[in-house]
Structure 1
């Protein structure tokens, strides 16, 4: 099943996805046509059906206008002003109506832009309005009456006068200021806002092309669809040429391009995942601006693969609207700020249409995605991530030893389970189990009947090479019931990967008497062509499988393999986890009993463990991996040598 109304597949130029530039233009038109059925009489608000966000229905209506305007702007600007469906006329009338009496509770007026903690969402939407106006200036802004231009400026300036959230939000007034300067309406305030945003961005840059989303350690898809997109696109529209931001985007795409599976799916990790194919916006922007290490054929394969992935899996509902979720509707994928029009930040992916029809992005033949070419392992010490992809099944796995969603002013015990950041691993074929169900890919403790969650993640390093890699971190277990923390309790974790296998080694320090330690594996559904295996290597005494009735974004309910052991004091635990989609995967073997080491069948040979270290011999080639905690170090030795 695909989105009704799209052209027939073009397998000559796009042998993998079948999508051409015509598919992107048509997809934009179809999404816009469906959304405009829900517009107010003059088009200032697009109040799409669905559960309102915490910001209320008027803000949600503005969100519908702003985010769809962004798609229309990329569509028309990319066609050099050709607007066969008259989109810009509708948005011009909506702009005039929405800014006539802002803040009034009537049928058309836009809400005022205030501080983020008072009425924040309009500031987010101001960036899409400003960017849309900048992209379409010759055909929309320059044709507006002077009083409408003045009213629009006054409304937009609310973003310059008020306080953003302490993260990527600072790029919203930055974008507004960039538009105002581009139309000759800049001043000291616009200059100051832009300087402030870029200064913060410098502090958030952590290397290897990755920004933290604020002063903490949140690394996720906001890198592509916000932290790179706004400054790089701003420089491109200003004709600034090569900038530090463009160079960082190029470096970011070196690793980020590996985070798409062979089926086109981006890794299911981090917040705002309902933006779906917006994950491809950084890839498209790199191709448009030239700030990319990817060939045009690879870029189109990635961005079109993501678009097709969602369109054929039910992301568009029976009304032609993007639903709030992942494939289809999925409540656990959403945040409190998610509303019916939130998914339309996916419009950012249409930035690729700024490349004209004769651009290599559209004329080059599609090439394989990085995850389709060979098995890959990539360690990223800056964000504390480890990427593992396997060609045979096209699955990409992301091992998280550095990204959390704990803001600097929050204590570690401010604490609910955060499935979108707190798990050890994520992939393009599995989603985390919902809060309240058993946590997948988690090392936790049970103390007095209360289970721990992983909140603030402290990276310990990452590295590797030649087909293997590792990443490590530590955290203080936080309990959501009873006392929030156990004094002195600490978990140190290391993931070592090769092929489709993951060696997971943990040292639990300071476990109180009576505690139980649990390790879970990948969550999969009963009808999925996936195999999730979790085998004990050292320290475990129990092995079973538990269910997650709320399932994941990929399956209605899930099963999760689990290992358990009694814990007291300090101890080391090791296991082998495997997620594979191969039709007949090589079995890692079944131990004779839950307490015995996993011996087998071509994966793990000898396992030697001490109080502070574990050595594992890999049966395939006799190489050995050693993980030590005192002093900390990870080694992979081949043929008995280095």
Structure 2
């Protein structure tokens, strides 16, 4: 019986507030974090080092795949650490990974202590294809010190295992970049052929079709926009261009990363938190991978001090809030363990995709990323409202409390060929708004930031989001409400939604068309806990009849128990509703009562006068069109 040695907590250097006045973190902190996470994870390695069997509930892929995941994702952290130190490996980790590679590829697919699972189609046994990319990238980064020193027979076995990624079908999204990364490594190692060429071309062709502008890719043929932009869709091609010295590739994909960072850099709160939006949030500080990659490659609009402030801010945010447990391992969750933040594919080693954040270590010690003083993050400079028209998102941040809010009017997880089923509703996409200080409520609880039409007591769900545009302080979309029980849809029923953001205030306007008799409109606000520093306020301006507050006993990733404000009103046929919502850490409540008033309202829109005299007009097209929105300010 193998005895697991005791855990060693992360041992970080003392803060350096002279160089890093915002976070205290330096390059040495990043190195120490990588070292500590690797030391803890390797306590669970199999004797040959091929699998790292971290404790916890297995994923749907099974324990062998989970063990490979532990090897591959920690290898990525080790590779960035060693490559960034020009091959220096004081802990001898590359020898362990070399031994694990030899053991894992000796008899792939065999049910024994060490063998890696085969790479098959994503519908059969897909997860090993994901991990093949981390193995390949790790080998690419450490080639002079690991791959080039392997026995040729081990190299051949590893190549044969990796080629499984080239010969099988990925999931129809960012997964195509996994065989791309495998092919890039094999070509760098002198093993190029027609198979590697096809894998690279296929991935880049698909990537072109997924590019929507403003530096944003859809994660597949639909309209899924989230953190996968940074830690996958930008990361793999731009890093490959950098490692290969391919100026043509860099010239094509680098400017897109730069443009992405112009908007994405605004999605970090004053406390360092990334925006809590989209799937795979247990990857945590991997959200800074694009920031680090931009600094390393030069494809960034951010000053080096801003890049380090964002990256180190996110790393510190999670380390200070219990992301690493007493056992030294990254837990499955957000701060600490949080099951509602997970996907069915999440396993004990899944959080180690956070290793992608360590791409910043490829910047050497004398790089400005590490040598210049930290500078303020965008949220710390001024209040902002930033429209991202391509993904249909609106970013709203307030300097006083450091909160960033993301209004979603363009991202969903419905594939072009897919139906809209309420049973597939995802709290991480379907809500109207997300933030750096709140998370969506768990399934089965009252949904936060949601507009529903209740029919026969069954609330609707927003699945496919049809963007109508995003401009100066506003974003709009429409959707067909779908239902989990009873008829899945009501013929002719649709909801058009607009948000106008000013300072900390959100004007939310909805027009319902085709509501059946006896239906009810419901609008909820932000979910907050009774002991949190942030508060959620909601005030009806037009159309609403009732107001109350509901409990969400399963809470969010930020609080174990939450409450959600709610507005209600009867609805039939066509009706327009308007309200103000606020998520704030500031103390005064009074401004909500006098922040804005409706001057006129009818089925075609509303006119709202703000306290400073500004007038906002939200207008809807005639019912026959019902998908056109204009927002003007006088």
TM-score range, shorter chain: over 0.9
1:156 aligns with 2:162: yes
- Measured against aligned partners, the alpha-carbon deviations of 1:400-420 in whole angstroms (never above 9, x if no partner) come to 000001122210126332100
In 1, Cα distance between equivalents of 2:130 and 2:361 = 23
Choose which of 391, 403, 411 in structure 2 pairs with 1:403. Answer: 411
Contact 1:413 1:485 in 2 (8 A): no
Question: Is 1:634 the equivalent of 2:630?
Answer: yes
Deviation at 1:637, TM superposition (A): 2.7
Measured on the aligned residues, the alpha-carbon RMSD in Å equals 1.0
Corresponding residue for 1:563?
567
Q: 1:243 deviation in Å?
A: 1.8
2:328 corresponds to 1:320:
yes
Q: Distance in 1 between matches of 2:203 and 2:426?
A: 28
Q: Which residue of structure 2 aligns with residue 43 of structure 1?
A: 49
1:235-246 alignment, distance < 5 Å = 235-241=241-247, 242-246=250-254
- The question of whether the paired residues in 1 share the 8 Å contact of 2:10 and 2:33 is answered with no
Q: Could you tell me which residue of structure 2 aligns to residue 107 of structure 1?
A: 113
Deviates more, 1:502-511 or 1:236-245: 236-245
Q: Partners in 2 of 1:116 and 1:414 — Cα distance?
A: 25
Give the distance between the partners of 1:415 and 1:237, measured in 2 at CA.
43
The equivalent of 1:585 in structure 2 is 588
Matches within 5 A, 1:15-414: 15-241=21-247, 242-413=250-421
- 1:407-450 alpha-carbon deviations (Å, 9 max, x no partner): 22210126332100000000000000011110100000111121
> Partners in 1 of 2:482 and 2:597 — Cα distance?
35
Verify the 8 A CA contact 2:257 2:300 in the aligned structure 1.
yes
Separation in 2, partners of 1:449, 1:54: 35
State the alpha-carbon separation in 2 of the partners of residues 166 and 80 from structure 1.
36
1:492 alignment partner in structure 2:
496
3-state SS, counterpart of residue 415 of structure 1: helix
1:154/1:4 Cα in 2 relative to 1: closer, same or farther (>3 Å)?
closer
Picking from 472, 475, 479, the partner of 1:475 is: 479
Aligned partners of 1:625 and 1:634 also within 8 Å: no
- The separation in 1 between residues aligned to 2:621 and 2:445, in whole angstroms, is 35
Q: Check whether the contact 2:541–2:597 (CA below 8 A) recurs between aligned residues.
A: no
Which digits, 9 at most, give the CA deviation of each residue in 1:446-505, with x for residues without a partner?
Answer: 1112111110000001101xxxx0000000001011111111110000000000000000
Q: CA deviation at 1:4?
A: 3.8
Asked whether the equivalents of residues 537 and 607 of structure 1 are also in contact (C-alpha less than 8 Å), the reply is no
Q: 1:536, 1:439 → 2: CA distance?
A: 18
User: 1:516 is matched with which residue: 508, 517, 520?
Assistant: 520
Give the Cα–Cα distance (whole angstroms) in 1 for the partners of residues 53 and 538 of structure 2: 47
- Find the aligned partners of 1:607 and 1:550 in 2 and give their Cα distance: 40
Match of 1:609 in 2: 601
* Structure 2 counterpart SS, 1:294: coil
Task: Establish whether residue 457 from structure 1 lines up as the match of residue 465 from structure 2.
Answer: yes
How many residues align structurally? Answer: 620
* Residues in 1 aligned to 2:245 and 2:152: alpha-carbon distance in whole angstroms: 27
Query: Are the counterparts in 1 of residues 468 and 629 from structure 2 also a CA contact under 8 Å?
Result: no
Any conservation in 1 of the 2:422–2:483 contact (CA below 8 Å)? no
SS in 2 for 1:161: coil
SS at match of 2:316: helix
C-alpha distance in structure 2 between counterparts of 1:3 and 1:292, whole Å? 34
Question: Within 2, Cα distance between the matches of 1:473 and 1:261?
Answer: 26
Q: Which runs of 5+ in 2 are unaligned?
A: 1-7, 623-627
Distance (Å, rounded) in 1 between the aligned partners of 2:90 and 2:598: 68
When normalised by structure 2's length, the TM-score is: 0.97
Indicate conservation of the 8 Å contact 1:416/1:480, yes or no.
no
**When the two structures are superposed, what TM-score results if normalisation uses the length of structure 1?**
0.96
- Using the alignment, how far apart are the partners of 2:211 and 2:633 within structure 1? 34
Q: Separation in 2 of the partners of 1:240 and 1:95?
A: 28
For residues 335-356 of structure 1, give each alpha carbon's deviation from its aligned partner in whole angstroms, at most 9, with x where no partner exists.
Answer: 0000000000000000000000
Q: 1:618 aligns with which of 605, 610, 614?
A: 610
Gaps of 5+ in 1: 590-599
2:577 matched to which residue of 1?
573
SS of aligned partner of 2:606: strand
Contact 2:474 2:631 in 1 (8 A): no
Shift of 1:608: 1.4
Task: Give a deviation string over 1:556-588, Cα, whole Å, max 9, x none.
Answer: 010000000011101000000011011x23523
User: What displacement does 1:606 show?
Assistant: 4.2
- TM superposition shift of 1:318: 1.1
Out of 5, 11, 35, the residue aligned to residue 5 of structure 1 is: 11
Kept in 2, the 8 Å contact 1:623–1:636? The answer is no
Q: What CA distance in whole angstroms lies between the structure 1 residues aligned with 2:581 and 2:144?
A: 56
